[in-house]
Amino acid sequence: GTFIAKIMKVINFYLVCTLTVTLNIIMKMFVPHRENGHMLKFLEVKFGLNMTKNFTMNWLLCQESLQAPSQDFFLRLTQSSLLPFYILVLIICFLSMMQVIFRRIGGKSLKETITLEDGRIGGRPEIIYHVIHTILLGSLAMVIEGLKYLWTPYVCMLAAFGVCSPELWMTLFKWLRLRTVHPVLLALILSMAVPTIIGLSLWKEFFPRLMTELMELQEFYDPDTVEL
C-alpha cells in the first residue's frame, strides 16, 4: 500500500542520484584510466585531500586560471545586476524543487500537468535539471576560476528565465499568500516589467561608456598593408 509506495519512491530517487556514479565506477573497473590519473591527483591536491611533490601538479596549482575567482569577478556580476537576480531565482527554484520532492516522498498527490495558478515551478523536470547543473558548476567555479566561463552562461540563462517567467513570480506569491492583488495578473505584469527595467538600467549605465570607447578608437594605418 502506501508504505510500499514510499519505499519504491525512495529507491527510485536513490537509483536516479547514484546511477551516474555507479556506471562510472563500473567503467573504471573494465577500462584502463591511467591516462586520466593526473586529473584525479590534481583534484585531490586542490581540495586538500592529498599532498604531492610532483612538479606538474604544483605547477598547475600555481596557474591563475586554476585558482579561486577574484572578488573583481563577483563585483562585476553584482554591478550588472546579474548575480542578485540569479541568487533570487536560484533560491526560489531550489526551494520549490525541494518542496515538490518532499511532497512526493510524503505520498501527497500532485497534478501531473502544472499550470500557472499552481505556483509550482520546481515541479518541472527541466527546472530541476538546470538547478542541479548550475549548482554543481557554481561549486566548481568557486574553486577553479577557469570554470567561470562554463558557469557564467548558466547564470545568465537562469536569471533571464526567472525574471521573465510568470511561474516563478507566481510561486513566490503563493508562499507569501498575496491576496490584495490577483497573483496571476501581478505575476504576468512583473514578468514583463522587471526585464524591461533591468534592460533600461543596463542601457543607461553601459551605453555611454560603450559610445565613449568607440569614439576613442582610432584607425590604424599601416602603409605596407595598404600597398598590398
Quick: pLDDT tens for 167-222: 888 888 888 877 666 777 777 777 788 888 877 777 877 778 778 877 776 655 55
Quick: pLDDT tens for 149-181: 888 888 888 888 888 888 888 888 888 877 666
pTM for this model (two decimals): 0.68
Domain boundaries, the chain: 69-210
Residue 156 grid coordinates: 545568465
- The answer to whether 151 touches 141, Cβ cutoff 8 Å, is yes
Where is mean pLDDT largest: 52-66, 79-93, 137-151? 79-93
